[in-house]
Structure 1
Amino acid sequence: MTEFAAVILVDRRGWVLLQERDEHPRIAPEKWSFCGGHLEPGESPLTGAVRELEEETEVSLAPDALHLVGAFDVHHPETGTDDKIHLYAAGVDLTDDDIVCHEGRQIVFVDPARTADLDLSDSARIGLGPFLGSRQHAALSESAALRAAP
């Protein structure tokens, strides 16, 4: 079992940051997923989430800005493994222009109403379900909007 850490950023509209993966990754190629990846040896899930977000987007957040959504078991059919993903979220006053895409085709904020139409990775399908429309999602959206207010 491999452990992964991932992050959902929520903007002031309540839209969520997702990565459209390209054909190169071993897990979930050509699918929409979270920013994140496997934990390094001895790395905590929170530290891994902060590191992966910065590596993939150049967005640097303090660990206390991230809130645990949950830890989910996920089966990766591409590797035949049963793994665990630690999912974190943060409300941010950012736009697509603030995101630097270092992996995949694009990393953009997506309207939650549109996520059902996307070809999601297994981890995104599992993690987005309980998050979207939750009180946590609403609170993070509201906190991002408050940070954006003049």
Structure 2
Amino acid sequence: MDTRIAGVILVDPKGRLLLQLRDGNTRVDPHRWCLPGGNIEPGEDPLTAANRELLEETGLKVKELRLFWQGTAPSAKFPGAVGEFSIFYAPTDARDEDVVCGEGAAMRFVDGADVRALKFGRAYGEIVPRFLDSPQYRELVNAG
């Protein structure tokens, strides 16, 4: 594995997903949408990394992150790179004004119906639509 990544999908009561727009100062997927998250540090487990990255990038904490998907996907780190991704999800009552944009150009909730039209990096372009089609997402939307 070239990299290990932990990502977080937060879903608000309206079914909107918290997404980050990467800025132009990054060499990895500039001006593309992604999930809050980042590299898993050496010796760190994916869940700990997901909680740490969520707090660092959004200022948010959640009671419990649940694993949605773990596996390999293309990484934008360099051409041909493959990453091991651990993607967690949770419901949240947070609103846009509660979110601190600790990294990137923007961090905001996006309506589920609008998410598919966004330009994601390669890995998240596969992972996020898979989440929108999942029973986990339907469960959160129906609970809200």
Give the alignment's TM-score, normalised by structure 1: 0.88
- DSSP-derived class of the 2:127 partner: helix
Structure-2 separation of matches of 1:78 and 1:43: 20
Determine whether 1:69 maps to 2:84: no
Structure-1 separation of matches of 2:48 and 2:119: 28
- DSSP-derived class of the 1:25 partner: coil
Structure with more of its chain in helix, by fraction: 1
- DSSP-derived class of the 1:128 partner: helix
Q: CA RMSD in A?
A: 1.4
Deviation at 1:68, TM superposition (A): 0.7
Structure-2 separation of matches of 1:75 and 1:104: 21
Partner of residue 123, structure 2: 123
Deviation at 1:138, TM superposition (A): 2.0
Deviation at 1:102, TM superposition (A): 0.9
Structure-1 separation of matches of 2:88 and 2:71: 11
| Count of aligned pairs | 142
Deviation at 1:112, TM superposition (A): 1.4
C-alpha offsets along residues 44-86 of structure 1, whole Å, 9 cap, x if unaligned? 0000000000000000224xx1111101322234512111111
Residue 20 of structure 1 aligns with an amino acid whose one-letter code is L
Alignment of 1:107-118 (within 5 A): 107-118=107-118
- DSSP-derived class of the 1:117 partner: coil
Partner of residue 51, structure 2: 50
Partner of residue 12, structure 1: 13
C-alpha offsets along residues 68-123 of structure 1, whole Å, 9 cap, x if unaligned? 11013222345121111110000011110110001111111111111121111112
Structure-2 separation of matches of 1:77 and 1:43: 22
Deviating more after overlay: 18-27 vs 133-142:
133-142
Moved over 3 A (4+): none
Query: Are 1:91 and 1:141, in contact at CA under 8 Å, matched by a contact in 2?
Result: no
Structure-2 separation of matches of 1:141 and 1:42: 35
The unaligned stretches of length 5 or more in structure 1 are 146-150
Query: Are 1:9 and 1:17, in contact at CA under 8 Å, matched by a contact in 2?
Result: yes
Give the alignment's TM-score, normalised by structure 2: 0.92
